[in-house]
Amino acid sequence: MKVLGIVVEYNPFHNGHIYHIEKSREITGSDAVICVMSGNFIQRGEPALLNKFARAETALHCGADLVIELPHPYAMSSAEAFAFGAVKILDGIGIADCISFGSEHGNVETLDFIAGILAAEPEEYRLELKKQLEMGLAFPVCRQNALKKYLHDAAFPDLSELLETSNNILGIEYLKALKKLNSSIKPYTVARISNSYNSAELTGPVSSATAIRNSISGSNGRYNISPETAKALPSYSQAVLEREFFSGRGPNSIKMFEDIIFSLIRRMNPGQMREFPDVSEGLEYRIKSAGENTGSIEELIDSICTKRYAQTRIQRILFSMLTGLTKAETELFMQYGGPQYARILGFNNTGRRLLSMMKKKSSLPVIVKAADFKNSCNKLLARMLEIEAFSTDMYVLGYKNPAFRKAGQEFTQNITVVK
C-alpha cells in the first residue's frame, strides 16, 4: 500500500481541500491518505473555528483515512517549526511514502532548490542574512533579501512573488525539514487553483478558508452558513459546522478570549512576558502598554503590530500566554528532536490498517488513548501531552454553551472512527 501524507488545518474543510486530496492521490498514485492536522489552535495564532475532533471527523468523511494531531507547540509556531513538527511525525511513523502540499508556484523542483540553500545556509547567504537582520526588518523580508543577493537576482526573477505567498513558504519549509531529517519521503506539490490563500472574498465553489470564515455571520448568538458560503463546502463539512454551531461548540474565534487575554496582560509584568515564544527586543513593553491602553482585542493587536512584528506573530504570543507555552519549553522540544508522539484523532477502515502498520514500524509512541500516557516515563512526552490538555481546557472556554466547557476533555474525548 502506497501511503500519502499531507499537513492540514482544515479550518474549515472546503472544496479546495477535496481537490488537493484527490489531485495528490492522482499524481502520487497513493492508496491511502494520512493527515497531520493542527489541534485546537492553529499556526496563525488563533483558535480553530471548530475543535480538532469535529474537524477530523469531516476529514475522514471527505477523503482522509487517518488523522494524526500536530502537537500544540508546533501547530502554533513559525512556519519552520510547524513544518518540521509535521514532517517529523510523518517520517517517524515509518509508513509514509510521499508528502503532497499545495503551493502557488506549483513546481516542486524550484521550491526544493531554494529549500536546499536555506537548509545548507552557505556562508555567503548566512552573512548577508545577518546583515539584513541588523537593519531591523522582519525575518521573512531579511531572508528574501539575502536570497536575492545570494542568487544574484537574475537567476530567479520571480523570487519575491515566490517567497511572499503563504503556501510556497510552507512548502519550502516542508522540503527543508525532509532534508534535515534525511527522510526518504518523496515530495510533490499541487498548484493552488482559483483564489489566494488569504483572499477575504468568496469566489464560488472554490473559496479560501479565510473567506469562508469571514462569511459566517451571526445574530442573537446564532451563526448561519449562507447559500453562497455553502457552495464552497462539501455537504458533510457544512453539516458538521451547523451541528457544532447549533450545539454551542463553535464557531470559536479570537474575540471569544478577549477578556482573558486582557486579564493576563494586565496581571503580568514585562519580565514574565519575556518567557513566551517570539517575545524579544523589548516587545514585552509594547504588549504591556497596548494591554493597558486599549479595550478590544482588535485594538490591542493593531497597537502592537508593526512592519517588524507581523499580526500572526503577535497572535501567537497572545495565545501562548493563554495556553502557558513558554519559550524555554519550545526550544527544549526542538532541541530533543521534535514531537514526542503520534496522537491519533480518528481513522476509517483503511486507517485501521495504517494504524496496525504504524504500531510495527513507528519510532514514535502511537497514542490512541491519551489518558494512558499521562504519566509516561518520557518526561518530554508527558509535558507535551500536558500542554495539549491545558490548551484544550482553554479552548473550550470559548464555547457559547457552558455545558461543554468542562476541563479534562483531552483525556475523556473518544477518537473518531468512521466505518
Global pTM?
A: 0.94
Does the pLDDT of residue 39 top 70, yes or no? Answer: yes
Q: Which of 262, 253, 226, 254 is nearest to 242 (CA)?
A: 226
Q: Which of 170, 187, 20 is nearest to 97 (CA)?
A: 187
Report yes or no: 381 and 332 within 8 Å, Cβ to Cβ. no
Question: What are the Cα distances from residue 356, in Å, to 230, 240, 346, 361, 365?
Answer: 37, 28, 14, 9, 13
| Greater pLDDT, 136 or 16 | 16
Q: Strands (DSSP E) along 150-263, which ranges?
A: 186-191, 217-219, 222-224
Whole-angstrom distance, CA of residue 291 vs CA of residue 87: 36
Cα Rg of the chain, angstroms: 21
Q: Which are the contacts of 335, defined by CB distance < 8 A and separation ≥ 6?
A: none
Joined together, the cell numbers standing for residue 360 give: 510495527
Does the pLDDT of residue 220 top 70, yes or no? Answer: no
Does the pLDDT of residue 73 top 80, yes or no? Answer: yes
Mean pLDDT of all residues in 3-31: 97
**Residue bearing cell 476541563:** 407
- For 341-366, what is each residue's pLDDT tens digit? 999 999 999 999 999 999 999 999 99
Does the pLDDT of residue 217 top 70, yes or no? Answer: no
Does the pLDDT of residue 246 top 70, yes or no? Answer: yes
Whole-angstrom distance, CA of residue 25 vs CA of residue 2: 10
Task: Average the pLDDT over each of 43-57, 162-176, 270-284 and give the range with the smallest value.
Answer: 162-176
Whole-angstrom distance, CA of residue 385 vs CA of residue 90: 18
- pLDDT of res. 198: 57
Give the confidence band of 155 by pLDDT, cuts at 50, 70, 90.
Answer: low
Does the pLDDT of residue 199 top 70, yes or no? Answer: no
- pLDDT of res. 153: 57
Mean pLDDT of all residues in 115-136: 90
Give the confidence band of 157 by pLDDT, cuts at 50, 70, 90.
Answer: low
Q: Express as a percent the part of the chain with pLDDT over 90.
A: 79
Q: Is the dihedral of CA 60, 64, 68, 74 positive or negative?
A: negative
Does the pLDDT of residue 209 top 70, yes or no? Answer: yes
- pLDDT of res. 236: 97
Give the confidence band of 219 by pLDDT, cuts at 50, 70, 90.
Answer: very low
Does the pLDDT of residue 201 top 90, yes or no? Answer: no
- pLDDT of res. 149: 84
Mean pLDDT of all residues in 270-288: 95
